[in-house]
């Protein structure tokens, strides 16, 4: 193993790419001394937002399983409904309140029909940001718990059931949470998220994350390895190491030799038998150190796909966003990364219409996309987040201008994405087979570049990595033929 690279703790951080996922997972009801353990109860967990929330929802299910809760796919009949929320943009937060309206009706119907009570919890970043305000606005809510307190769910449920009162837990103690979570996992498939770092103290002026997730904390190496091993033992072949600013990872080396950054951690995790693919997200340009770039080039288990947001192409806007780097810095970094790993595909996040963004500034973002070239992307209109510096900046951009800019930007980004996918036709890619495709018949898996890939093959391939020759490509997915090796 090459030497670790200690890095500046104050360097910048980033947030993971947004995905909307609605995850529940099958839990095994077990005996408990907290609740009525013999009666299996049902929990419905709905996840909004980023990969970290997907991970947190799975961990909530892990915490609830020993006290008799099994996860279900629909809320109607659930004894406990948890909304794991996202506060990153206005729309994401508003969705929570409309969902709570629907949950209230379900709860009333369930209780009126004598099917038992329904406890309602709001977790995640809206919970952290709005606290008790949620219960005032939506009295159906019994519990509000921030992202660092979900290990206390059993305790909170006991309090709500015993005292019939509301419970609010929004303290920050990330390490305590990780210490108290079960060390084993019960994964749903062959690819899993693993949180290695949480929080952000970079304070980009548009972003609520530093306020909702707290200061940056890295998990100890041994804890990560234990969790990765548990996943591997349960059939997981691919692990995505996640963190709001994952490449700011910095923790004590287990052998006492100093501190490890993300590169050293990846090389260590790569030694775990059964783990064949590693990814990491989300990275900040400021924290992309040489050791990590070298690891991208030298570690064969690391997939050739990097999510590295720039947000905007104009130096003036980057400065106003407090991103702490210029476009030239980003461009140099990309050149270095491509030199180390020529087959890498890039993904990015973009915001249009940040306060003060002129037509010329926006053209700089278009130029950045033209010059860099992205295989996939996430792009958004700037959304005012109360309490962030951007909210009170002058020269807010009108909504119609933001919409026009977003349309132009997305036309370009989607064109690049389609072109990238087309460039893979004729190539044979390793696909991790996740299951049967939606319309049955075909198998479905993920390429090294994360595109969903459909092809014909026997179900015995599920959970394995197989070569697939790409024969067709759309904007979001690939089709191909399984290249039988025997």
Which residues contact ligand SF4 (rule: CB under 6 A)?
12-15, 200, 202-204, 207, 209-210, 244-245, 284
CA 69 – CA 39 distance, rounded (Å):
9
R_g of the chain computed on alpha carbons: 23
Q: Residue 458 Cβ, how far from ligand SF4 at the closest point, in Å?
A: 43
What whole-number distance in Å separates Cα of residue 439 and Cα of residue 55? 27
Q: What gap in Å lies between CA 121 and CA 107, rounded to an integer?
A: 12
The sign of the torsion formed by the CA atoms of 74, 75, 80, 86 equals positive
Out of 380, 420, 444, 455, name the contact with ligand 5AD by CB under 6 A. 380
* Segment interacting with ligand 5AD, rule: CB under 6 A, options 97-105, 234-242, 265-273, 381-389: 381-389
311 binds ligand 5AD (CB under 6 A): yes
For residues 174 to 213, the per-residue mask of contacts with ligand 5AD, x marking binding by CB under 6 A and - elsewhere, is --------------------------------xx------
Q: Which stretch binds ligand 5AD (CB under 6 A): 30-38, 165-173, 296-304, 382-390?
A: 382-390
Residue 446 interacts with which of ligand SF4, ligand 5AD, none, CB < 5 to 8 Å by class: none
Alpha-carbon dihedral 464, 465, 468, 472, rounded to 10 degrees = 90
Q: How distant, in Å, are the alpha carbons of 331, 343, 421, 475 from that of 375?
A: 16, 11, 8, 10
Report the partner that residue 203 touches, choosing among ligand SF4, ligand 5AD, none (CB closer than 5 to 8 A by kind): ligand SF4
CA distance 120 to 83: 8
Interface pattern 321-360 for ligand 5AD (x via CB under 6 A) = ----------------------------x-x---------
**Whole-angstrom distance, CA of residue 118 vs CA of residue 309:** 41
Choose among 286, 288, 270: nearest CA to 318: 286
362 binds, among ligand 5AD, ligand SF4, none (CB under 5 to 8 A by kind): none
Options 385, 402, 405, 454; binder of ligand 5AD; rule CB under 6 A: 385
Question: Which one of ligand 5AD, ligand SF4, none is in contact with 82 (Cβ closer than 5 to 8 A by kind)?
Answer: none
The token duo for 344 is: 């890498």
Name the DSSP letter for residue 441.
Answer: S
Listed ranges 115-123, 173-181, 258-266, 380-388: which one lies at the site for ligand 5AD (CB under 6 A): 380-388
Nearer to ligand 5AD among residue 124 and residue 309 (C-beta): 309
Out of 55, 362, 382, 449, point to the residue binding ligand 5AD (CB under 6 A).
382
Task: Supply 391's token pair.
Answer: 């909210």
Nearest residue (CB) to ligand 5AD, 14 versus 58? 14
Q: How far apart are CA 373 and CA 366, in angstroms?
A: 10
Least distance CB 135 / ligand SF4 (angstroms): 27
Nearest to 120 by CA among 68, 84, 73: 84
For Cα atoms 297, 377, 392, give the angle at the middle one, nearest 5 degrees: 115
* DSSP H or E run through 364: helix 359-372
Residue 27 vs 214, nearer CB to ligand SF4: 214
Partner touching 383 among ligand 5AD, ligand SF4, none, CB below 5 to 8 Å by kind: ligand 5AD
Measured from the CB atom, the residue of 55 and 69 that comes closer to ligand SF4 is 55
Q: Which does 307 bind (CB under 5 to 8 A by kind): ligand SF4, ligand 5AD, none?
A: none
Of 154, 210, 309, 448, the one binding ligand 5AD (CB under 6 A) is: 309
Measured CA to CA, the distance from residue 11 to residue 284 in angstroms comes to 9
**By C-beta, is 277 or 284 nearer to ligand 5AD?**
284
Number of other residues whose CB lies within 10 A of the CB of residue 328 = 9
Q: Does 383 engage in binding with ligand 5AD (CB under 6 A)?
A: yes
Tokens representing 378 are: 């996430």
Q: Which residue among 15, 153, 228, 344 contacts ligand 5AD (CB under 6 A)? A: 15
Q: Which of 4, 18, 147, 355 binds ligand 5AD (CB under 6 A)?
A: 18
DSSP-assigned states of every residue in 24-66: ---------SSS-TTS-EEEEEEE-SBHHHHHHHHHHHHHHGG
Q: How many CA atoms lie within 13 A of 457 on its CB side?
A: 31
Interface with ligand 5AD (CB under 6 A): 15, 18, 88-89, 206-207, 309, 311, 349, 351, 380, 382-383, 385
């Amino acid at each position: 193993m090459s030497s670790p690279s200690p890095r500046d703790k104050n360097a910048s951080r980033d947030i993971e790419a947004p995905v909307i996922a609605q995850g529940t997972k099958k839990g095994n009801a077990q005996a408990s001394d907290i609740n009525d353990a013999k009666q299996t109860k049902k929990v419905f967990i709905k996840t909004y937002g980023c990969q970290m929330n997907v991970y947190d929802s799975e961990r909530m299910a892990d915490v609830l399983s020993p006290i008799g809760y099994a996860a279900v796919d629909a809320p109607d009949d659930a004894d406990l409904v948890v909304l794991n929320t996202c506060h990153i943009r206005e729309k994401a937060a508003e969705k929570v309140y409309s969902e709570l309206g629907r949950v209230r009706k379900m709860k009333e119907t369930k209780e009126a029909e004598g099917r038992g009570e329904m406890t309602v919890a709001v977790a995640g970043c809206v919970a952290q940001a709005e606290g008790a305000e949620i219960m005032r606005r939506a009295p159906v809510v019994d519990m509000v718990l921030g992202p660092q307190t979900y290990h206390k769910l059993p305790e909170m449920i006991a309090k709500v059931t015993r005292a019939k009162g509301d419970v609010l837990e929004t303290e920050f103690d990330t390490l305590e949470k990780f210490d108290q979570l079960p060390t084993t996992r019960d994964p749903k498939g062959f690819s899993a998220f693993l949180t290695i770092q949480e929080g952000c103290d970079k304070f980009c002026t548009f972003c609520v994350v530093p306020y909702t997730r707290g200061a940056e904390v890295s998990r100890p190496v041994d804890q990560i390895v234990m969790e990765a091993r548990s996943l591997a033992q349960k059939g997981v072949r691919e692990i995505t190491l996640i963190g709001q600013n994952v490449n700011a990872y910095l923790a004590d080396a287990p052998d006492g030799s100093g501190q490890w950054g993300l590169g050293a951690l990846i090389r260590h995790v790569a030694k775990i038998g059964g783990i064949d693919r590693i990814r990491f997200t989300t990275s900040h340009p400021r924290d992309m150190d040489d050791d990590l770039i070298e690891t991208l080039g030298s570690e064969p288990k690391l997939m050739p796909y990097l999510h590295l947001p720039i947000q905007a192409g104009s130096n003036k806007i980057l400065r106003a966003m407090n991103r702490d780097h210029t476009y030239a810095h980003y461009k140099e970094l990309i050149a270095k990364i491509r030199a180390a790993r020529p087959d890498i595909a890039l993904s990015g996040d973009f915001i249009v219409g940040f306060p003060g963004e002129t037509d010329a500034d926006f053209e700089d973002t278009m130029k950045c996309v033209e010059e860099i070239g992205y295989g996939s992307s996430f792009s958004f209109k700037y959304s005012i987040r109360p309490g962030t510096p951007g909210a009170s900046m002058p020269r807010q951009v009108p909504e119609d201008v933001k919409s026009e800019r977003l349309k132009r930007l997305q036309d370009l980004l989607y064109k690049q994405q389609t072109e990238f996918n087309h460039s893979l036709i004729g190539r044979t890619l390793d696909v991790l087979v996740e299951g049967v495709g939606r319309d049955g018949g075909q198998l479905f898996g993920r390429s090294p570049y994360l595109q969903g890939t459909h092809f014909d093959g026997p179900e015995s391939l599920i959970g394995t990595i197989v070569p697939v020759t790409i024969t067709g490509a759309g904007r979001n997915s690939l089709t191909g033929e399984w290249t039988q090796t025997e």
